[in-house]
Amino acid sequence: MKYAPQLLAAGLLLASTAQAQTRLTIPPLSPTTRIHQNFSTSYIDLTYSRPSLRGRTAFGGVVPNGTVWRLGANTITKVRFGEEVKIGGQTVPAGAYALLAIPDAKEWTFVLNRDTAQWGTYAYKPALDVVRVQAKPTRLAAPVETMGLTVENLRPASADLVLAWDRTQVTLPITADPDRVVMAQIEQAMKGDKKPYVQAAQYYYSTGKELTPAIGWFDEYIKANPTEYYGYYWKAKLLQKAGKNKEAIEAANKSLELLKDDKNEVSKTEYTRLNQEVLAAAGAKK
C-alpha cells in the first residue's frame, strides 16, 4: 500500500510532537518500597509496590482467592536473603527470589520462585518454585488502607515477614543459624594476626557458651592493654558468670583502681557502677 506524501509527513509530525512532549511526574497509585533489614549475620532485602484499597475489598475482591498473586502491585515482589535461612522448616539458600502468595480465607500459601524478572504473575512457572509454605491469616480489628510487607519480631536467629492489608494479616516465620556462621568466623579469625579477643569473648558471654576460652581471650587483651579498666571489667563479668567469684572480685577491684585515672567523668561513673554490680553479684564485702 502506498501513502500520499502529505499523510506520511503528517504522521511523522505527530510522532515528532509526541516525542517532544514533557513527561509528567504523577503520584503512583501503588508506590514502590525498598526495605533493607539487618538480620542474623547479614540482611533481608524487600522490594515491592504498595496498593491501596481506595474503597475496594482486598482479598476475594481485588485479589481473587485461590490464585497466584504478585504480593503487591506492578512488577513482582522481590526478596533477597544475605545468608541461608529456613522458611517453614525448608532451607532457602542465600540469594534473590520472587515472593508470591496464594491467598485464601482459611490458609495462605507463600511461594519463593527463581524468576525475579517476571512482571506480575503472567509468566509464572511453578517449575521454578524453590519453596511453598502455608500460613494462617488472622483478621484485623480495623482495615489497613495501604498494603504493608514488613520484617518484625527481630531476634538474632529469627524474624517474621508480616503482610497486612484490609482486615487481613499473615505472618511468615524466618529462621537463621547465626551461631554456625559466627563460630566459623571466630575459628578463622583466631588464626590471624588481629585476633578479635573482645568481640569473641563477649559473644561467648551473651550466648551462654563455656567461658574458659573467653576468659583466656581477655587475659590476652589485658596483656596488650594493661592500663585499661575495660579489659579487667569484662574479665570480672566472665569470671563471676563462671562461678569464680574470688577472681572476679580481684578483676573488678583492679578495674576500679584503673578508673581513678579516667578523665571522662561520664565513663568513670558508668564503669564504676558496672564494676560495683559485678562485686555485688560475686558476694564482695562492702
- Residue 129 inside a domain? The answer is yes
Q: Decide if pLDDT at 14 tops 60.
A: no
Q: What percent of the chain has pLDDT over 90?
A: 88
Q: Decide if pLDDT at 24 tops 60.
A: yes
Residue with the larger pLDDT of the pair 33 and 20 = 33
Would you state the pLDDT for residue 30?
95
Whether 106 and 244 map to the same domain: the answer is no
Model confidence pLDDT, tens digit, residues 46-59: 999 999 999 999 99
Whether 55 and 135 map to the same domain: the answer is yes
Q: Decide if pLDDT at 17 tops 60.
A: no
| Total domain count, the chain | 2
Q: Could you give the C-alpha distances from 110 to 98, 174, 253, in angstroms and in order?
A: 10, 12, 56
Model confidence pLDDT, tens digit, residues 140-150: 999 999 999 99
Q: What is the DSSP string of 176-215?
A: --HHHHHHHHHHHHTTSSS--HHHHHHHHHHTT--SHHHH
Closest Cα partner for 114 from 101, 100, 135? 100
Residues 237/278, Cβ–Cβ less than 8 Å:
yes
For residues 211 and 84, what is the distance between their CA atoms, to the nearest angstrom? 28
Model confidence pLDDT, tens digit, residues 79-129: 999 999 999 899 999 999 999 999 999 999 999 999 999 988 899 999 999
Domain at 238, CATH number? 1.25.40.10
Q: How confident is the model at residue 19 (pLDDT cuts 50, 70, 90)?
A: low
Whether 169 and 43 map to the same domain: the answer is yes
Whether 83 and 167 map to the same domain: the answer is yes
Q: Which of 110, 144, 176 is the last residue of a domain?
A: 176
Helices (H), the chain: 5-20, 178-189, 197-206, 212-224, 229-241, 245-259, 265-281
Would you state the pLDDT for residue 21?
87
Whether 104 and 204 map to the same domain: the answer is no
Q: Which of 129, 148, 176 is the last residue of a domain?
A: 176
Whether 221 and 123 map to the same domain: the answer is no
Q: Average pLDDT of the chain?
A: 93
Whether 207 and 96 map to the same domain: the answer is no
Q: Decide if pLDDT at 70 tops 90.
A: yes
Q: Decide if pLDDT at 11 tops 70.
A: no
Would you state the pLDDT for residue 9?
55
For residues 204 and 215, what is the distance between their CA atoms, to the nearest angstrom? 10
pTM: 0.82
- Residue 23 inside a domain? The answer is no
* Amino acid making up residue 269: T
Instruction: Give residue for cell 532485602.
Output: 45
Closest Cα partner for 109 from 92, 96, 126, 94? 126
Q: Decide if pLDDT at 286 tops 90.
A: no
Q: What percent of the chain has pLDDT over 70?
A: 93
Q: Which of 140, 160, 176 is the last residue of a domain?
A: 176
Whether 168 and 130 map to the same domain: the answer is yes
Residues 138/125, Cβ–Cβ less than 8 Å:
no
Q: Decide if pLDDT at 31 tops 70.
A: yes
- Residue 16 inside a domain? The answer is no
Residues 104/60, Cβ–Cβ less than 8 Å:
no
Residue with the larger pLDDT of the pair 78 and 17 = 78
Residue with the larger pLDDT of the pair 75 and 5 = 75
- Residue 14 inside a domain? The answer is no
Would you state the pLDDT for residue 258?
96
Whether 139 and 185 map to the same domain: the answer is no
- Residue 47 inside a domain? The answer is yes
> Which three cell numbers mark 215?
576468659
Model confidence pLDDT, tens digit, residues 229-248: 999 999 999 999 999 999 99
Q: Which domain holds residue 139?
A: 29-176
Would you state the pLDDT for residue 240?
97
Would you state the pLDDT for residue 20?
76
- Residue 138 inside a domain? The answer is yes
Model confidence pLDDT, tens digit, residues 181-219: 999 999 999 999 999 999 999 999 999 999 999 999 999
Whether 257 and 185 map to the same domain: the answer is yes
Whether 152 and 202 map to the same domain: the answer is no
Whether 231 and 212 map to the same domain: the answer is yes
- In the DSSP assignment, the letter for residue 15 is H
Would you state the pLDDT for residue 10?
52
- Residue 1 inside a domain? The answer is no
- Residue 119 inside a domain? The answer is yes
